[in-house]
Amino acid sequence: MTVSDPITNEIIRNSFLAIAEEMNNGLVRSAFSPVIYESKDSAVAIIDAQHRVLGQSSGIPLFLGNLEHCTKVTEEMFGRDAWQDGDIWIMNDSYISGTHPHDVTVYAPLFYRGELAGFVASRAHWLDIGGKDPGVAMDSTEIQQEGLRIKPMKIVQGGVERTDVIELIVGNTRFPVSCTGDLRAQFVVAELGSRGLVELYDRYGRDVVETAAEVMFAQSEQQNREGIAKIPDGTYSADGYLDSDGISGVPVRVEVVITVAGDAMTIDVTGSDDAVRGPMNCGAVQTVSACRLGFKYLINPEQAVNGGTFACLDVKVRLGSVLGAQEPSPCQFYFTPLGLLVDLIVKALSPVLPELAAAGHYGDGMILQFSGTDPRTGNKFIENEPHVGGWGGAPRNDGADGMIWAMSGAFKDMPIEVFETKFPATINEYAFRPDTGGAGRFRGGCGVVREYTMLLDDCDLSLWLDRSQTPAWGIEGGTAGAAPDLIINPGRDDERRIMKVNRTRLRRGDTVRLMTGGGGGYGDPAERSHADIARDIAAGYVSASAARELYGYDA
Amino acid sequence: MSEQFRVAVDIGGTFTDVVVYEETSGQFRTGKSPTTPDDLVRGVVEAMNAVVDDPDAVRSFVHGTTVGLNALLQRRGERVALLATKGVGDSYFIARGHRLDIFNIHHVRPTPLVAKPDLIEIGGRLDWQGDEKTPLDPADLERAAAYIREQGIRSVAIAFLFSYLDGRHEQAAADYLSAALPGVTITMSHEAAREWREYERTSTAVLSAYSGPTVRDYLSRLEKGLAEKGISAPVRVMQSNGGIIGIAKARTQPLQTFFSGPVGGAAGGEVLSARTGRPNLICVDMGGTSFDMSLIVGGKPEILPHADMESFPALMSVVDIKTIGAGGGSVAYVEAGGLRVGPESAGAVPGPACYGRGGTQPTVTDANLLLGRIDPGAFLGGKMRLDVDAAKTSMDALAGELGLDPYALAEGIVDVINAKMAQAIRAITVERGIEPRDFSLVAFGGAGALHAAALAEALAIGEVVVPALPGAFSAWGMLQSPLRQDFTRSFFRKLDDLSPAALDEAFAPLEADAREALRTENVESAEVDFRRQLDTRYVGQEHTITMALTETLVDDFHEEYRRRYGHASPGAPLEVTTARLTLLADVDFPAVSALAEEAVPERDLPTQTVIFGRRSHDTARIDRDALKVGERLTGPLIIDEPTSVTIVPPGWVVSVDGFKSLILTKDAA
């Protein structure tokens, strides 16, 4: 078998993907926390000895291509000799991994015939990692308030679990049983990945596998360079505002400047505002991931990600900015600026990639968190969930109605029957919110209403809703989608509207009415077909009066 | 006593297959007739006519059809009105806000099976314990009836919150509507699926309401067509859960017919497993566009508690069949200088280049032809001559781009598609903690036996079985499948709190339902099994494992968990979420005994050049009919039959067992 045989290369390329899939399935199926097994808030990767991704699988697009950063930084800190067979490492440091402390990365070196041959890694969102509040805090002002901070360290040494370290970590969480379960699930993933890679090396030989990887990187790079070369050289930019960091109450600007030169692209976000006091800063590594995601939306979206995918993309981040968090900036909601950032990348390039364009989407997780003690069982509970909204219209389709935002990947909402069984509250309403999608030849998707009523005397509610300052914009003549809104006790004397809060007190019978935003419209509303407008009215997505006003339509 | 026949008929996309078992002679016969899409029953009757002359001799009739699935695929089902709980009816359309394709910003959901204006919300609510919070609103029901009548809607799905705990609101609404709207079909979610998760349960009810009328209409016409032919034997239908059921029951659970074709393959595997004493089988069916896999573990097919029907969930037991896009028609192409094969297929039109119907891209079939593995004159029993030059031309262009010799490319295409199929098999086995090498590979379908030995090699599987009648293996399996019906209900308990009495109480209603079902099925067999199972998990987890309820449930669970995930937490508390009862009744299929070994003539087989491992080999060819029971031949060898080709590569031997299966093993020498 010759070393650069295209047939063997293709077989090995498929094997990398298959191993990563097997690892992620193993993680999702054996995890203890719903945020992993239900929301798929996890990612896995197999990585070569030079810290390049061979294959990865993720339920969360934002974890795209940054697990390798963890192995790389660890090596920079401790030297290459620190890698020892039988060890497993752990870390969650926001300034290294770029995410919030709840995302715990577990990784292991892979030794083949006594030599370091690569790494396997997984990242999973733990239910609780300590910190000042159960679950997540909406008002932290320094990273230490957000949870235990774990810099790279060994958690398994020579095949033996370091029980003292495990005790230290899970002892700092409020849910030691499920966190231990999730940790063990991550150990399993390391085992699955190692086994898969060793089998591959055994079958083809390490040199053949490594050559295949080089060929694969080169192919991915070439494909993406060809994709970029189709875009006219030039500079493309867009900007928008986040509502507030939850503390200062001041809008925060995010700016994207994209330069295309030949077959290379630079995404520069250095013009974005300085880091903020509240928990809305993002580590540079995760900003890079978000830029990669925006890039991937537009360039070869169907292609698998590997070490060659982003070779033609340079990202410029300014440390100390909201997108380049440094100690001690809090990072809990690092993803809120990224939701806007990714939308802005699409917006900036839409004029030159008209086929791939899309109007803005509702763009934030719309997170509600309830916590307290369930009077039915006497057990403490935390329920933390993002909510669905409207997506942007596109050149050939309306935006999706009520679908989860870009950053939450393959999330599924919690069924009402499951929610009411597990938590002491009812859901009165879960319905599309009419007239929230922007008008256009292809309209934006509708947001939703989800209304909760409390069945306990004492409940804490924390809220994190954004994108009312810069709601989902329309493009090519389409109009913007509606902004989100939230009312506590609508119609009562104590009614209040609020978007971000940490642990406000709710009583039995209190109602929380969440209204998520819609997507932006695409194209001139006057070009929308009457049949489509009539269908929208009949379905209740658009009211008759809005149809008249926005589309000039009279039934 | 005159001859007695058992008959199975499986409708496929192109052909309708019949298998007849003659009880006195113990012989199987097959027939085949073109599928007649305008009136499927005609094709069934024609296929029967070809092999059954005396209708009185037919003592049982089993049928596999995908008419329900086709109605869904082609969106030709019934218009459905959905009655849902006030305030939350949009849950069906929000579909849990989920998307699979996380890098796509142009995501479009599959069009729901209910048009949005046909959603009617009804006041009235149960709480999380099934207790009534708000009574059903009669004014809303009146409004619903008026709308359904005015719109002329013929099928209604009713899906209220928490109906899996108490179906009274659904029942009351159904009673009201059936009185107000005679002739309208009503499907209640708590009958369609007695499990929690309102979106999935609603979807199950809607799927049933949508496709039910088509399925029922078809089954009625089938019954009539068979009666007109003079067949009075009971008619039974193959179900997605791997068993058969009487036609009357099939009408009430139309979704169970959806996968009855592909499931036949697993049913065949189960029979083969029992008959030949091989407990563990990987069954693979490779056709022109897709590669279907199922597992027999410990003699039983793997059953999943939930199904996916064209992206719509259904809460019902189905045989676990995984499909990937890999078949004879899979197209090879170059991307960024690398070779890719599939998942796109050339289909039947234009088809592979060698079909001469305008296809120019090389496919897996073209590759097999060029390598000499398919005989251009023997394809489809010689009914269609393949064009080797066209295959070569298609290969040359791609080979030039990759800098390869066209024959090396052809073998490479086969290697890549084999690797993809092998990985798919790995995924379904390793994911469950199963070692493929502990299994035999059963290959059927048009292309299965062409690739089986190579797949086995890649997976270190020691043995390949190519059953007799590989083209009609599904129908053959259906003929011998047991009656099966599944009964489930949500049942949340900590395992520690479960006394035998509590379990008996939980299963009692399910068992009563099962006994009633048994009575109406007129089962001829005494071999009846009521199998109790519990969906079990560690307290706090979400995903469950369906475990047989035995004395050793707890230990079995930890063991099974360890097998699947490589770790377990013995001592950690367990809980159960769903009680499942499976009714299985044997159909008393006569024992089939192995045939005696036959005298083997001296063979002087013609040879031709076939490429294996980049080298030409003089390879013998033989018709499968000519092979004798007990005969053993050494590869390289190619065995031709009208609907299939079996490759015995160099280093492999083939023998013919007493059931006329081909058994391929690595040559020990």
**A439-488: per-residue pLDDT in tens?**
999 999 999 999 999 999 999 999 999 999 999 999 999 999 999 999 99
Residue A523's nearest CA partner among A438, A433, A435 is A438
Q: What 3-state class would DSSP assign to B103?
A: coil
Q: Which residue has the tokens 């978000």?
A: A290
Every domain range in chain B assigned CATH 3.30.1490? 483-585
The pLDDT assigned to A3 comes to: 45
Out of B106, B335, B492, whose CB is closest to A394? B106
pLDDT under 70: residue ranges of chain B: 1-2, 13-14, 431, 433, 524-526, 565-567, 669
Q: Please judge whether B97 and A428 are an interchain contact, meaning their C-beta atoms are less than 8 angstroms apart.
A: no
The length of chain A in residues reads 555
Query: What HEC string does B274-302 produce?
Result: HHHCCCCEEEEEECCCCEEEEEEECCEEC
Question: Residue B22: how many CB atoms within 10 A of its CB?
Answer: 14
Out of B100, B108, B492, whose CB is closest to A397? B108
A217-226, A361-370, A496-505, B94-103: segment of lowest average pLDDT: B94-103
Which of A167, A191, A221 is the endpoint of a domain?
A221
Q: What 3-state class would DSSP assign to B314?
A: strand
Which of A199, A221, A243 is the endpoint of a domain?
A221
Q: Please judge whether A431 and B567 are an interchain contact, meaning their C-beta atoms are less than 8 angstroms apart.
A: no
Q: What is the identity of the amino acid at B147?
A: Y
- Asked if residue A506 is part of any domain, the answer here is yes
Residue of chain B whose alpha carbon sits nearest to that of A61 = B102
Please count the residue pairs, one from chain A and one from chain B, whose beta carbons lie less than 8 angstroms apart.
200
A-chain residues near B100 (CB < 8 A): 410
Contact B2, B54 (CB under 8 A): yes
The token duo for B421 is 């199929």
State how far residue A76 is from chain B, nearest Cα, in angstroms. 32
State how far residue A279 is from chain B, nearest Cα, in angstroms. 26
The pLDDT assigned to B431 comes to: 66
Among B88, B94, B102, the strongest candidate for a mutation testing the A interface, having the largest count of A CBs within 10 A, is B102
Residue of chain A whose alpha carbon sits nearest to that of B89 = A431
Q: Which CATH class is domain B483-585?
A: alpha beta
Out of B420, B427, B540, whose CB is closest to A22? B427
- Asked if residue A312 is part of any domain, the answer here is no
What percent of chain A has a predicted confidence (pLDDT) above 90?
Answer: 79
pLDDT band at residue A436, thresholds of 50, 70 and 90? very high
Contacts of B508 (CB under 8 A, 6+ apart): none
Q: Which residue has the tokens 């020892």?
A: A84
Q: Please judge whether B116 and A540 are an interchain contact, meaning their C-beta atoms are less than 8 angstroms apart.
A: yes
A84 against B563, higher pLDDT: A84
Q: Please judge whether B566 and A539 are an interchain contact, meaning their C-beta atoms are less than 8 angstroms apart.
A: no
A-chain residues near B402 (CB < 8 A): 6
A-chain residues near B196 (CB < 8 A): 415, 417-418, 421
Out of A22, A61, A358, whose CB is closest to B106? A358
State how far residue B266 is from chain A, nearest Cα, in angstroms. 24
- Asked if residue A414 is part of any domain, the answer here is yes
Residue of chain A whose alpha carbon sits nearest to that of B403 = A6
What backbone torsions phi and psi does residue A359 show, to the nearest 5 degrees? -70, 170
Among B103, B105, B308, B615, the strongest candidate for a mutation testing the A interface, having the largest count of A CBs within 10 A, is B105
* Residue B125: strand pairing partners: B134
Residue of chain A whose alpha carbon sits nearest to that of B200 = A415
Residue A293's nearest CA partner among A43, A32, A7, A550 is A43
A146 against A65, higher pLDDT: A146
- Asked if residue A206 is part of any domain, the answer here is yes
How many helices (H) and strands (E) in chain B? 16, 35
State how far residue B432 is from chain A, nearest Cα, in angstroms. 9
State how far residue A328 is from chain B, nearest Cα, in angstroms. 32
Averaged pLDDT, A372-379: 95
Every domain range in chain B assigned CATH 3.40.1360? 73-216
Residue of chain A whose alpha carbon sits nearest to that of B128 = A421
Long-range contacts of B223-229 (CB under 8 A, 24+ apart): B223/B247, B224/B41, B225/B41, B225/B42, B225/B44, B225/B45, B226/B44, B226/B45, B226/B61, B229/B45, B229/B48, B229/B49, B229/B55
Find the distance separating the first CA and the last CA of chain A, reported in whole Å: 70
- Asked if residue A271 is part of any domain, the answer here is no
Among B565, B567, B569, B575, the strongest candidate for a mutation testing the A interface, having the largest count of A CBs within 10 A, is B565
Q: Is the pLDDT of residue A2 over 60?
A: no
A-chain residues near B127 (CB < 8 A): 420, 426
Query: Could you tell me what percentage of chain B is helix, strand and coil, using 3-state DSSP and rounding each to the nearest 5?
Result: 35, 30, 35
Q: Which residue has the tokens 């099939």?
A: B250
State how far residue A199 is from chain B, nearest Cα, in angstroms. 11
Domain limits for position A148: 6-221
A-chain residues near B564 (CB < 8 A): 29-30
Q: Please judge whether A402 and B162 are an interchain contact, meaning their C-beta atoms are less than 8 angstroms apart.
A: no
Q: What is the CATH number of domain B73-216?
A: 3.40.1360
B-chain residues near A220 (CB < 8 A): 336
pLDDT band at residue A65, thresholds of 50, 70 and 90? low
Question: Residue B437: how many CB atoms within 10 A of its CB?
Answer: 11
Contacts of A487 (CB under 8 A, 6+ apart): A495, A496, A497, A512, A513, A515
Residue of chain A whose alpha carbon sits nearest to that of B337 = A219
Q: What 3-state class would DSSP assign to A433?
A: strand
Which of A194, A221, A248 is the endpoint of a domain?
A221
Please state whether B659 falls in left (phi above 0), alpha (psi between -120 and 50) or beta.
alpha
B-chain residues near A39 (CB < 8 A): none
B-chain residues near A446 (CB < 8 A): none
- Asked if residue A208 is part of any domain, the answer here is yes
Residue B307's nearest CA partner among B393, B242, B233, B224 is B242
Contact A216, A309 (CB under 8 A): no
Among A197, A416, A436, A446, the strongest candidate for a mutation testing the B interface, having the largest count of B CBs within 10 A, is A416
- Average pLDDT of every residue of chain A: 93
Give the model confidence (pLDDT) of A22-48 as tens digits: 888 888 777 777 667 666 778 899 999
The pLDDT assigned to A6 comes to: 84
A-chain residues near B338 (CB < 8 A): 6, 9-10, 13, 215-216, 219
Residue of chain A whose alpha carbon sits nearest to that of B458 = A203
A-chain residues near B94 (CB < 8 A): 388, 401-403, 413, 430, 432, 448
- Asked if residue A77 is part of any domain, the answer here is yes
How far does CA B523 lie from the centroid of its chain?
A: 24
What backbone torsions phi and psi does residue A197 show, to the nearest 5 degrees? -70, -40
- Asked if residue A173 is part of any domain, the answer here is yes
The token duo for A12 is 């090995």
Q: For the whole model, what pTM was predicted?
A: 0.91
A119-128, A248-257, B253-262, B638-647: segment of lowest average pLDDT: B253-262
Separation CA A347–CA A363 (nearest Å): 13
State how far residue A78 is from chain B, nearest Cα, in angstroms. 31
Q: How many domains, in total, are found in chain A?
A: 2
